[in-house]
Amino acid sequence: MRRLFGSVRARATLAATLVVAVALVAAGAAVLLSLRSNLMGEAGTQAERSARAVASELAAGTPYDKLSGLDGDVGPVQVLDEDKRLVAVSEDLQRISGTDSAKVKAQPSAAAPRGDDDDDADDSGDSGASLEPGEISGESVFRNGSATVDGDTEDYRFAAVEVETHDRGHLKVFAGAPLAAEHGAVRSALTVMLIGFPLLLGVVAGVTWLVTRRALRPVEGIRREMAAITQSEDLARRVPEPDTHDEIARLASTTNETLAALETSVERQRRFVADASHELRSPIASLRTQLEVAAAHPELLDLDGAVEDTVRLQRLAADLLLLARLDAGERPHDARVDLAGLAREEAEGRTGVTVDAEPVEVAGSRGQLGRVLANLLDNAQRHARTAVTVSVRREGDRAVVGVADDGDGVPEGDRERIFERFVRLDAARSRDDGGAGLGLAIARDVAVRHGGTLTAGQGPAGGALFELRLPLA
């Protein structure tokens, strides 16, 4: 059960069914209340019509035993005087409730015939009536009750109408209309709802189940393919993309883009590990050879070569460590760095390097930005004939650092490739002269981490020009 409702399909079906169920219950209750109210209103109208008909006859002076509404054809009728004494009642009435009197047998009225003296007028006023003789009240009072007529007991809607007669004083007429039709209609509607609602909910649940199954079929395909990719560790595989233009299609497209990026990252990591191993093997092997020779023949020890190999190994390890930190997403420190001062510091002591810089401040790591400038200067000096120029200027909201040399420059087709790791374009960039080919890769990674760019182009003297652009502090 837990596994069943753990699926999106089951939860969607349950949610849709519950929503429809709540809507149906609310609509059904509203329909039943409206139906009951309408039928109750119709019964009240019928009862009021009967009561007013009897009141009209009383206002016209019709004797009690001649009233046409007492034959029992329309419903139970009671006529009460101002002392609530039953003076007239419909035939075959055996029991009644919901009116001012539960009596079913008429009693002789003790009131004297109405005259014109003041005392009678005062008594009429005391009864609460404000009607003129022969006038019928315009307002009716409605009540629910029950009555037994000729052995049949039913619920009734009673209407009470007051009338002022010429000779019998103030009277109140109660007439009832049966509520059997109302009860029957409500029961029928309720029965239909009790039968139809579950069937409708079953249809809604089935349709929702089928629709969600069809809608989630591509998701299941994506899940199966991802499981297969995880099991096989083959990142070259891709999940199927449906032909639709909905969220699932976008999910599949994003998943494939993620797989492609992951494949590229893994392949790059593999190449990095392979190249790093290859680059480390050379100085380690050279250093080991020199130490083995020195152990056997101390007089042949090349101390300068051993130190040089050790320095190369140390620099390579530092470069690899920095790249690892950059790949791990290390954020630069948010400090203010004066690029002009930093450029002068890095150029100090270097032969043939001139600096033309204006004060410009950026936010970042002074150590990492100094490493960028050092790498660019090392690269420029390695390929320059005589001179290297460093410039620092402001362009809009960017600080621009340019490092140009007067060497042969970088071919246009290789101006992006040189920023790849362990890339050396020619023999001049050999291990002996130029290191492992990590300097420019580190410089670009640091620039990107600082929100900037590093590009290669042609300098004013025809050599290479590297421009570092960073956002101003």
Q: Backbone phi, then psi, for 444, in 5-degree steps?
A: -70, -40
CA distances from 417 to 237, 435, 456 (A): 27, 17, 10
Number of domains in the chain: 3
CA-nearest of 434, 423, 422 to 312 is 434
Residue 163 and residue 33 share a domain: yes
Whether 239 is covered by a domain: the verdict is: no
302-319 tens-digit pLDDT: 777 777 778 777 877 777
Residue 212 and residue 64 share a domain: yes
Residue 296 and residue 197 share a domain: no
25-34 tens-digit pLDDT: 999 999 999 9
Whether 237 is covered by a domain: the verdict is: no
Q: Is 136 exposed, middle or buried (0-12, 13-18, 19+ CB in 10 A)?
A: middle
pLDDT at position 163, please?
Answer: 92
Percent with pLDDT over 90 in the chain: 25
Domain coverage including residue 284 = 247-327
Residue 79 and residue 193 share a domain: yes
- Under the banding of pLDDT at 50, 70 and 90, the label for residue 296 is confident
- Under the banding of pLDDT at 50, 70 and 90, the label for residue 77 is very high
For residue 308, count other CB atoms closer than 10 A to its CB.
16
For residues 455 and 473, what is the distance between their CA atoms, to the nearest angstrom? 21
Q: Is the pLDDT of residue 3 over 60?
A: no
CA-nearest of 169, 16, 147, 142 to 79 is 169
179-195 tens-digit pLDDT: 888 888 888 999 999 99
Average pLDDT, the chain: 83
Residue 203 and residue 108 share a domain: yes
Written as one string, the DSSP assignment of 101-141 is: ----S-----SPPP-SSHHHHHHHHHTT--PPTT-B-S--E
Whether 462 is covered by a domain: the verdict is: yes
Written as one string, the DSSP assignment of 205-239 is: HHHHHHHHHHHHHHHHHHHHHHHHHHHHT-TT---
- Under the banding of pLDDT at 50, 70 and 90, the label for residue 240 is confident
Whether 110 is covered by a domain: the verdict is: yes
pLDDT at position 116, please?
Answer: 45
Segment 105-131 shows an average pLDDT of 52
- Under the banding of pLDDT at 50, 70 and 90, the label for residue 286 is confident
CA atoms 432, 436, 437, 441: torsion sign? negative
For residues 146 and 178, what is the distance between their CA atoms, to the nearest angstrom? 9
Residue 316 and residue 206 share a domain: no
Q: Is the pLDDT of residue 343 over 50?
A: yes
Residue 251 and residue 222 share a domain: no
CA-nearest of 443, 442, 439, 438 to 454 is 443
CA-nearest of 346, 315, 285 to 438 is 315
Whether 240 is covered by a domain: the verdict is: no
46 Cβ contact list (under 8 Å, min separation 6): 74, 75, 157, 177
Domain boundary among 168, 203, 229: 229
- Under the banding of pLDDT at 50, 70 and 90, the label for residue 118 is very low
For residues 306 and 312, what is the distance between their CA atoms, to the nearest angstrom? 10
Let me know: does 405 contact 384? Beta carbons within 8 Å.
yes
pLDDT at position 432, please?
Answer: 47
pLDDT at position 282, please?
Answer: 73
3-class DSSP state of 161: strand
Question: Looking at 229-243, 272-286, 348-362, 391-405, which range is the least confident one?
Answer: 272-286
Q: Is the pLDDT of residue 437 over 90?
A: no
Residue of higher predicted confidence among 269 and 55: 55
- Under the banding of pLDDT at 50, 70 and 90, the label for residue 126 is very low
Residue 79 and residue 197 share a domain: yes
Residue 264 sits in a domain of what CATH number? 1.10.287.130
Q: Please give the radius of gyration of the chain, using alpha carbons only, rounded to the nearest integer.
A: 52
Whether 241 is covered by a domain: the verdict is: no
Whether 242 is covered by a domain: the verdict is: no
The pTM assigned to this predicted structure is: 0.50
Whether 43 is covered by a domain: the verdict is: yes
Residue 119 and residue 76 share a domain: yes
Residue 202 and residue 86 share a domain: yes
Segment 340-369 shows an average pLDDT of 90
CA-nearest of 57, 51, 250 to 159 is 51
Residue 409 and residue 284 share a domain: no
Residue 99 and residue 7 share a domain: yes
Residue 430 sits in a domain of what CATH number? 3.30.565.10
pLDDT at position 195, please?
Answer: 92
Domain boundary among 200, 229, 258: 229
pLDDT at position 6, please?
Answer: 59
Domain boundary among 173, 198, 229: 229
